[in-house]
A and B are shown apart, each in its own frame.
Chain A
Amino acid sequence: MLEVSNLSSGYGHLQVLWDVSPRVSEGEFVALLGPNGAGKTTLLRTIAGLIQPWTGEVKFMGKQIGDLPAHQITRMGLSFITEDLNLFTGMSVRENLLLGAYTRRDKEKVKDSLDYVLDLFPVLAERQNQLAGTLSGGERKMLALGRGLMSDPCLLLVDEPSLGLAPKLVLLVFEALQELNRRGVTILLVEQNIGMSLRIADRGYVLEQGRIVLEGTNADMLENKHVKEAYLGIKRA
């Protein structure tokens, strides 16, 4: 579904990604892991069209999307939930959700998606008329996820959903992601919370200093010496 080949990208004169080629197939739940500053967010931004690739290509559903602007990529069925969420804080929860369906014209189906999202996150249903800016951190994450789902995407890019959340809420968000994946949404998740991500993902990539240093299924990853030592803090004597 998503094929990135030999991608390099960055900001201004600063190169962040060096020749990375991650792939995501339909129905998969893939985790992109790595420390701060490894280029995870940059990779998602490049895929979503917020920044242009320097070299290499990005293919989504068989089409080149490397030079398309973000709004057209969204139209094709990719939804990117950013780390800072980019909610419309001066608008109500409901308006935020409706804007998530901006690319869709069929009112009936939009209504279905709205019901689906409100069913998935009941707290949003209670707060429909509240301004998004007045929500708590956890509710904001759910609203961002909900808004991302309103376009009925086939691929969901999620950047650090656990950031700044209490452990209980992290669990809730992760469960929601798992549930979505079960319902058929392909997910590429960026996380620093590696233990938890590997438990729910099918497969993972480890990105360090702009390069993919490791890839494999979650079982392999959990057994990998480097992952254990560097990320899970398990050291064998």
Chain B
Amino acid sequence: MELSSLWDLVIIGILRGGMYALMAMGLALVFGVMNICQFAHGEFYMIGAYMAVFALKVFGLNPFLAILLAMVGGFVVGVLIERGIFYPLRRRSQEEWVMNTFLLTVGLSFVLQNLALLIGKARYRGVPTYWKGTIRISPTMGVSVDRVIGFLIAIVTIGIFGLFLRRTQMGRAIRAVSQDERGAMLVGIDLDKIHTLTFGLSTMLTGIAGASLLPITQAYPAMGAGPLVASWFVVILVGLGNVGGSIIGGFVVGMLQTFSYYFLGAGWQDTVSLSILILILLFKPSGIFGTEVKGILER
């Protein structure tokens, strides 16, 4: 294999990894802070994509504004769902929390998918391209501008979000809740507020991913399945609830899939990823960067 095509593969892997990282970060956050195994994550990706379609076709907004709308929309829908479903459950009983919320998210995923089917019909909706043109990244390969901008959006979002978590008092509060709930309450943090905020932020990140990739994956009701599996793969790989690790993991998975696609052919990328996942879990059950996860055993 020539060096230049290896280079191409790395670039494609990184471009792909940006979005995985974005989605996995949201998943890790919700697990770390709320102990929810989110299986409706893919549906928020779908909602983001539909919102972008809506913004483009109905309002005729430009792509950046469409993605912005999907971001806000993702946040609002997430907040409503948290307040409507998880908050009442937490109030009523926290027994078997992990299992109950897991089942809830699976149910939610069905409901959201079928709502999309009802409203959007079983049709692909999308746009051929956000931004025209390709960028030549090596003598042998060009990448569409859409992919590059999508990647940049992912990177900038991850960067801003990282700063938010580290530098602001609210971000610190989110991390505090994930590290010690009782400690968080005792310094005066309202857990309910932080839970709602965290859920909304996680669905917001996913919404951004869905909207930015619209030219590449068109919107349709079941579109969330692939990204869901990929982001769960990342999160399990690096260790549940590890937000920083999930960023690195996103790129690792992007790379892994691209390489197996190239060397083994289409359809093999999931087999390879999952085989590696099984191997890692066999030897290090808590994931690559895994540490102990808060409260998972006692709930």
| Residues of A participating in the B interface, judged by any CB pair closer than 8 Å | 48, 50, 69-71, 74-75, 79-80, 82, 85-91, 95, 98-100, 102-103, 147, 150-151
Contacts and interface: CB of A to CB of B under 8 A. Distances in A.
Contacts of A99: 169, 172-173, 176, 184, 187, 189
Interface in B140-188: 169, 172-173, 175-176, 179-180, 182-188
Given A71-B190, A71-B191, A102-B169, A88 B185 contact: no
| Dominant SS among interface residues on chain B | helix
Contacts of B175: 88, 90-91
A46 to B, nearest CB: 14
A70 B185 contact: yes
Contacts of A98: 169, 172
Interface string B179-216: 11011111111110000000000000000000000000
Contact-residue size bin, chain B (C-beta under 8 Å from the other chain): 10 to 19
B179 A89 contact: yes
Interface of B: 169, 172-173, 175-176, 179-180, 182-191
B240 to A, nearest CB: 15
Contacts of B190: 69, 71
A50 B185 contact: yes
A70 B183 CA distance: 10
Contact of A102 (B173, B179, B180, B191): B173
Given A90-B179, A102-B188, 5 more contacts: A70-B185, A70-B186, A74-B186, A87-B180, A91-B172
Contact of B182 (A50, A90, A100): A50
Contact of B186 (A80, A89, A91, A95): A80
Contact of A82 (B182, B184, B188): B182
Given A99-B172, A102-B173, A88 B189 contact: no
A52 to B, nearest CB: 13
Contact of A88 (B169, B176, B188): B176
B209 to A, nearest CB: 26
Nearest to B291: A90
Contacts of B172: 91, 95, 98-99
Contacts of B189: 71, 99, 102
